[in-house]
């Protein structure tokens, strides 16, 4: 059975690889590659910002007649994400970076510009010193003078730091300990004040609750009834009492106007009333009381019947 994945191919004995025709492709042919923006840039057409790391489907080609130490230089074509304008940049193997070519401006390259300016000044100085020995002497004098000034300034700073750097560690520790104790004391006082305030508040609340419970549970004491004057009934008679007296007079008559009916009424003396009620008779020489007078005025049915039988 033959192999599923054919890794080896059959070459006949008369195989000649030189006879295989080669494709003649142009040297400036382009390839579609997927890349990310190597730096921050801004489109010149619409002003859109393109940040570093944004992905593009770019076209890559080899720059003709340009190389660095035999290394080829490649050019990339991308399109702006907003206006679709074409932006080109190429590789810079000399500085291990990329160079903006067309369609946009590179942002945030102040450090790079500063480094380039320093390199340019250094190169100009070397060129001047190469052909002018007096210029070399002058530059050396300036460098030595500048170095002396820098050393003097550095020494002044060291002296100033030494004068200000004299620190008493014991005093620092003592001050720290005192500040820590003061902070703890203040915290303790605050805690005590808060505790006292809470206790006072709880005590007031408890007193209010106790007073409310006492008011709810305490029975209301009845007010003592005002006793009327015993003789007030003689001075004032209610309409009901007046009606009873009138009905009595119509049925029986007064004690003095009709002698035939007055005999039926037996007047109770104070002695019989007192004995019946278990009271002592009135003493001689003392007038009848209010109760005795009321009893004499009240007629009982039993007494009336007894008087009728006697007649």
Helix, coil or strand: residue 80? coil
How do the residues of the chain divide into helix, strand and coil, expressed in percent and rounded to 5? 50, 15, 35
Report d(CA 98, CA 268) in Å as an integer. 148
Secondary structure letter of residue 34 according to DSSP: E
Question: Within 13 Å of residue 236, how many CA atoms lie on the same side as its CB?
Answer: 5
Query: Are the C-beta atoms of 233 and 294 separated by less than 8 Å?
Result: no
Please state the residue numbers annotated as binding site for Zn(2+). Answer: 43, 46, 80, 83
Joined tokens for residue 133: 């020995």
Ramachandran category for residue 103: left, alpha or beta (phi over 0 → left; psi -120 to 50 → alpha): left
Binding residues: 43, 46, 80, 83
Phi and psi of 207, rounded to 5°? Answer: -65, -40
- How far the first Cα of the chain sits from its last, in Å, is 165
């Amino acid at each position: 059975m033959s192999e599923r994945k054919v890794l080896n191919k059959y070459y006949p004995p008369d195989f000649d690889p030189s006879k295989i025709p080669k494709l003649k492709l142009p040297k400036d042919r382009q390839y579609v590659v997927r890349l990310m923006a190597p730096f921050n840039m801004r489109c010149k057409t619409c002003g859109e910002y393109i940040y570093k790391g944004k992905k593009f489907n770019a076209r890559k080609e080899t720059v003709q007649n340009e190389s660095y130490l035999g290394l080829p230089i490649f050019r990339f074509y991308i399109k702006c994400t907003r206006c679709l304008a074409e932006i080109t940049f190429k590789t810079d193997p000399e500085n291990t970076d990329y160079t903006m070519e067309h369609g946009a401006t590179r942002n945030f390259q102040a450090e790079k510009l500063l480094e380039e300016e320093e390199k340019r000044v250094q190169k100009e100085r070397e060129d001047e010193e190469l052909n002018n020995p007096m210029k070399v002497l002058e530059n050396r004098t300036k460098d030595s003078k500048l170095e002396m000034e820098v050393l003097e300034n550095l020494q002044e700073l060291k002296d100033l730091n030494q004068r200000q750097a004299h620190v008493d560690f014991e005093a620092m520790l003592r001050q720290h300990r005192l500040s820590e104790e003061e902070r703890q004391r203040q915290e303790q006082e605050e805690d005590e004040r808060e505790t006292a305030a809470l206790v006072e508040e709880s005590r007031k609340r408890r007193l209010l609750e106790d007073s409310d419970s006492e008011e709810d549970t305490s029975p209301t004491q009845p007010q003592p009834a005002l006793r009327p004057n015993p003789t007030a009934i003689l001075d004032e008679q209610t309409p009901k009492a007046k009606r009873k007296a009138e009905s009595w007079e119509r049925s029986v008559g007064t004690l003095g106007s009709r002698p035939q009916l007055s005999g039926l009424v037996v007047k109770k003396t104070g002695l019989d009333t007192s004995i019946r009620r278990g009271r002592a008779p009135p003493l001689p020489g003392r007038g009848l009381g209010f109760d005795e007078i009321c009893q004499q005025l009240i007629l009982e049915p039993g007494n009336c019947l007894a008087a009728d039988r006697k007649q």
